């Protein structure tokens, strides 16, 4: 796993310890409605450039999508914009559901 990735279990541990990274969900609204991590900020990938000022740059930002591909693209874009404390949720919300919180539904 690259330095940019965080596993679902490592993220769950952080959240359970009371840490509060920004959870940036870059999926589409219909996907977010099906399954999401409570407290996450929804900014679809195609809106990141226009809405990046909504993302706290001083706080750790964990970016997620369905399987981890769009979130990695968002991470690369934000890194080029000067964000430094970024992580990609490895496997996305699907892996989160399977490994960290089975209450979050899976979808195709």
DSSP secondary structure code for residue 105 in this structure: P
User: Is 5 tagged catalytic?
Assistant: no
CA angle 75, 86, 103 (to 5 degrees): 90
Which of 101, 103, 96 minimizes the C-alpha distance to 25? 96
Rounded CA-CA distance 104/96 in Å is 8
The helix (run of H) or strand (run of E) holding residue 97 is: helix 92-99
In this structure, what DSSP letter does residue 100 have? T
Catalytic residue among 15, 65, 89, 100: 65
List the catalytic residues: 65
């Amino acid at each position: 796993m690259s330095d940019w990735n965080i596993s679902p279990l490592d993220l769950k541990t952080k959240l359970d310890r009371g840490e509060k990274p920004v959870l940036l969900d870059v999926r589409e609204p219909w996907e977010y409605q099906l399954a999401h991590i409570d407290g996450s900020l929804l900014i679809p990938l195609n809106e990141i450039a226009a809405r990046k000022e909504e993302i706290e740059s001083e706080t750790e930002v964990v970016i997620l999508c369905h399987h981890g591909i769009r979130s990695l693209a968002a991470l690369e874009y934000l890194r080029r914009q000067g964000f430094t404390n970024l992580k990609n949720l490895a496997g996305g919300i699907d892996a989160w559901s399977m490994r960290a919180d089975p209450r979050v539904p899976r979808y195709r």
